[in-house]
Amino acid sequence: SFFRDSKRRCLSVEETAERHLLLESLKKATQELSENERELICRLYVYGESLRSYARAKKMPVTTLQARHQKLLKKLRKKLEK
């Protein structure tokens, strides 16, 4: 739940507001990504697919996908730091 942490404890109002702001920032940052970049993020972090499985589905070497993944995470970090 949005209002609970990983140990199922209720979050304070401040923690809930902070989580909301972070999610809004992440949503905005991902909207600025290319379709392929958004698909990679979604498949790995929303659907929980492994890099290996996604690479196989895209018929790509895992190492290529790992490099793209790392580059994409750096790109998102920069956007979130603004």
- For residues 66 and 14, the model is more confident at 66
Listed residue (21, 20, 47, 42) closest to 31, CA to CA: 42
Q: What is the dihedral of CA 50, 67, 25, 31, to 10 degrees?
A: -90
CA pair distance 55, 19, nearest whole angstrom: 31
pTM of the model: 0.70
Say yes or no to pLDDT of 19 above 60: yes
